[in-house]
Amino acid sequence: MSESALVWFKRDLRMADHAPLAEAAHFNAALALFIIEPAWLGSPECHPRHVAWLLECLAPLRTSLAQRGLPLLVRVGEATEVLMELRREFPFTHLFSHEETGTGWSYTRDKAVARWCQVQGVAWTEWPQTGVVRRLKDRRGWATLWQKRMDALPVPVPAGFRMPIDFKRACLSDLLPQLPTLRDLGQPLGTTALWNESTPLGLGTQQAGEDAAHEVLHSFLRERALGYRRHLSSPLDAELGCSRLSAHLAFGTLSMRTVHQATEAAIEATPNRELAYGLRGFAGRLRWHCHFMQKLEDEPSIEWRNFARTVDGLRPGDGTELQDADRERLAAWCEGRTGFPMVDACMRQLRATGWLNFRMRAMLVSFAAYHLWLHWREPGLFLARQFLDFEPGIHWSQMQMQSGTTGINTLRIYSPTKQALDQDPQGLYIRRWVPELGTRAYPQPIVDERSALAEAKRKLYEQRATPEARGEAGAIQQKHGSRRSGLPPSGVRARKAPAADLGQGSLF
């Protein structure tokens, strides 16, 4: 059998800096595939807005690949079944893809594909596409590895691909039907809104695809990064003042290396010191992206389980059923009707646009975890569906960090009242998203802030002071802590969230 390659696109929907594509270009026959998997569509983190965005990314990618002679098949089905069926038509000997740090379903899928490849005698090669290191033994040296990967030369886009004429003809006729629509995929229509009319540069619209990703990157590097560090915290300024690259990184329309190198080049090139200052702050965030993803890679169970096992069972929903009252509080939070205007405004922005800045994400979670005393899993699933940029490693690590279940981080509790005063002193943001405020239609606060917080702190302090909790913290810090931050393992102090957002992650 002559050698032939199948490029399996996953969360890497681009031409540039794509090692599997470049490798396939050396083969006498190559084909590309994207599988829309029922396991993904049915997963509790998936929302029609993700599916819509995916389809919008696939369309231009398909055109770019076709221009270089590589047909991209888009099939719906379980991965091993799709691969099996395709192999009957196109007997590929090599399967090329990027590594994925995903949730349980994609991990299970990858194991099944590995087994299938072994049985079929297909050689499956996976390349890293971020700073996440597979089978990492220890966090020592991780930052150096990250730097080395990010500084390596990007992989050039192949000039063209080869394919036997017969197969090409067959591909172009029978095998390349139109992309499926949302309706074909059983996705409810009308729930995919990404539009935010208030954004003058149209960033609320979050354009999908590789070209759009480059435009967003360059508008940020050229001008929007000016004042980045000042603009991070307020939901009004952050809309344009943050890079807005997260969905592109999550779906891989840009590689992390491309963003890193373009940022370093922009810092080098600009004579504007304020712009350079903003860009350096941004460059640090890119490390965080991979630092947080590495935690899920190293410990996949953090998607379901507390980092600190000594907090197990502390809140309802953690090994126990939610009571009706908990469910009601959760529903009010999800629907943006808690009676706390800043919380409700943020939730409504998120639901309408699929994006929210870091500070306000953290405030929403802090409110669910401390004021409403809810375990992070259910709120985390809800937010995962809302975030267009859902990235499992960042998401679940952050959910736990903001809920105080990592066992090692300083407890960070955000007061929605203080956040409203600090970040929206004129009430512009709140009025935009909660127009009924001040009328009878707006609900009373669903909890008493002061007593809810006092009770939450008491329980957490008590738990953290136990010898078991203290004993566990060292092991968690050893496994997941950043060696770069220079931070000692955090103690049990509760801190109010800082006024400036630079300490947002307090890396652990």
Ligand X SMILES: Cc1cc2nc3c(=O)[nH]c(=O)nc-3n(C[C@H](O)[C@H](O)[C@H](O)COP(=O)(O)OP(=O)(O)OC[C@H]3O[C@@H](n4cnc5c(N)ncnc54)[C@H](O)[C@@H]3O)c2cc1C
Q: Which stretch binds ligand X (CB under 6 A): 129-137, 148-156, 321-329, 357-365?
A: 357-365
For ligand X (CB under 6 A), the number of binding residues is 29
CB of 362 to ligand X, least distance (A): 4
Nearest CA to 447 out of 313, 303, 332, 279 is that of 332
DSSP annotation of 8 reads E
Rounded least distance, CB 387 to ligand X, Å: 5
Candidates 71-79, 384-392, 454-462, 477-485: pick the segment binding ligand X (CB under 6 A): 384-392
**Does residue 109 interact with ligand X by CB under 6 A?**
no
**Is position 234 an interface residue for ligand X (rule: CB under 6 A)?**
no
Answer whether 72's CB lies under 8 Å from 58's CB: yes
Q: Does 406 bind ligand X (CB under 6 A)?
A: no
- State the Cα angle at 280 between 275 and 284, rounded to 5°: 145
Out of 288, 307, 333, 382, the only residue in the binding site for ligand X (CB under 6 A) is 288
- Kindly list the strands in the beta sheet with 123-127, ordered across the sheet, starting from the edge strand earlier in the chain: 72-76, 29-36, 4-9, 94-98, 123-127
Name the token pair of 504: 């947002």
Position 333 contacts ligand X (CB under 6 A):
no
- Residue whose CB is less far from ligand X, 52 or 242: 242
In whole angstroms, what is the distance from residue 498 CA to residue 479 CA? 27
* Binding mask of the shown chain, residues 295 to 314, with x at each position contacting ligand X by CB under 6 A: --------------------
Closer CB to ligand X, 71 or 505, in the complex: 505
Strand 494-496 relative to strand 72-76, pairing: unpaired
Can you give the length of the chain in residues?
Answer: 508
Helix pair 341-353, 416-423: axis angle to 10 deg: 70
Cβ of residue 288: shortest distance to ligand X, in angstroms?
4
| Region from 86-94, 145-153, 397-405, 479-487 binding ligand X, contact rule CB under 6 A | 397-405
Q: How many CA atoms lie within 13 A of 407 on its CB side?
A: 25
- Closer CB to ligand X, residue 289 or residue 371? 289
Nearest residue (CB) to ligand X, 389 versus 472: 389
The least distance separating ligand X from the CB of residue 358, rounded to whole angstroms, comes to: 3
Distances (CA, A) of 326 to 125, 170, 362, 463: 46, 56, 20, 21
From the list 338, 402, 477, 490, which residue makes contact with ligand X (rule: CB under 6 A)? Answer: 402
In terms of CB distance, is 346 or 365 closer to ligand X?
Answer: 365
Cβ proximity to ligand X: between 4 and 207 the closer is: 207
Select from 15-23, 131-139, 239-247, 413-421 the region that touches ligand X (CB under 6 A).
Answer: 239-247
Q: Can you give 229-251 as a three-state secondary structure string?
A: HHHCCCHHHHHHHCCCCHHHHHH
Q: Which of 152, 107, 106, 111 minimizes the C-alpha distance to 130?
A: 152
Calculate helix-pair angle for 467-480, 273-298, nearest 10 degrees.
110
- Report if residue 124 touches ligand X, rule: CB under 6 A: no
Subset of 240-269 contacting ligand X (CB under 6 A) = 242-246, 249-250
- Asked if 292 interacts with ligand X (CB under 6 A), we say yes
Please name the amino acid found at residue 103.
T
Residue 387 sits in the site that holds ligand X (CB under 6 A): yes
Q: What is the CA radius of gyration of the chain?
A: 23
Cβ closest to ligand X, residue 168 vs residue 361:
361
| Contact by Cβ (8 Å): 113, 80 | yes
Q: What is the smallest separation between the CB atom of 363 and ligand X, expressed in angstroms?
A: 9
Per CB under 6 A, which of residues 449..508 are in contact with ligand X?
A: 504-505
Helical H runs in 373-434? 377-386, 392-403, 416-423, 428-433
From CA 451, how far away is CA 232, in angstroms rounded?
Answer: 30
43 binds ligand X (CB under 6 A): no
Among residues 18, 285, 375, 385, which is the contact residue for ligand X, using CB under 6 A? 285
What does the binding site for ligand X look like in residue numbers (CB under 6 A)?
Answer: 242-246, 249-250, 282, 285-286, 288-289, 292, 357-358, 361-362, 365, 387, 389-391, 394-395, 398-399, 402, 504-505
